[in-house]
Structure formats: C-alpha cells, structure tokens
Amino acid sequence: MTICFNCGKKKEDYEVWWNKLVIGITFNSEFQNNQTIRNMTDKSMMCHDCIKIIEKSIDKKNNL
Ligand SMILES: [Zn+2]
C-alpha cells in the first residue's frame, strides 16, 4: 500500500502520485529545494494535492 509521505493519505488506483525522481524531472530547482521535498527519500511517494500545496507556497513566496 502506498501512503503519502507528507499527509499520510492512502493512494487510490486512479490518482496521480509523485516520487522524487519524477519531481526532479518535472519541477525546477526551487521546487526541489523545498524542505518537504528534500525530506523525501528515494522510496517516498507524494499525492498530487501535496504537490499542489508546495507549488502554491513557492508561487506565494515569489510574489512577495
Ligand atoms: Zn499528500
């Protein structure tokens, strides 16, 4: 069973989830430097909701 590294949510079959490798390919270095992302291990998985929350927090920081 897969559980979200960040929020503890369990994965449903239809949901998109992310691992560190895919995040590295998909997102820029600012995203990868996020504390939560940095705490992921190679085996950690994260749900799409948590990815969106981190994206938003970075957007907010850039708009200050
Ligand atoms: Zn999550």
Give just the sign of the alpha carbon dihedral 34, 39, 43, 45.
negative
> 14 C-alpha to center of ligand 1: Å?
15
Summarize pLDDT for 15-61 with one digit per residue, the tens: 999 999 999 999 999 999 999 999 999 999 999 999 999 999 999 98
Q: Is 37 exposed, middle or buried (0-12, 13-18, 19+ CB in 10 A)?
A: buried
Question: Is 90 exceeded by the pLDDT of residue 5?
Answer: yes
Structural domain boundaries in the chain: 17-62
What pLDDT, on a 0 to 100 scale, did the predictor assign at position 37? Answer: 97
Question: Is 90 exceeded by the pLDDT of residue 6?
Answer: yes
What pTM value is reported for the model?
0.90
Protein residues within 5 Å, CB atom, of ion ligand 1: 4, 6-7, 9, 47, 50
Are the C-beta atoms of 21 and 30 separated by less than 8 Å?
no
10's tokens: 């369990």
Are the C-beta atoms of 31 and 14 separated by less than 8 Å?
no
> 42 C-alpha to center of ligand 1: Å?
16
Summarize pLDDT for 11-22 with one digit per residue, the tens: 999 999 999 999
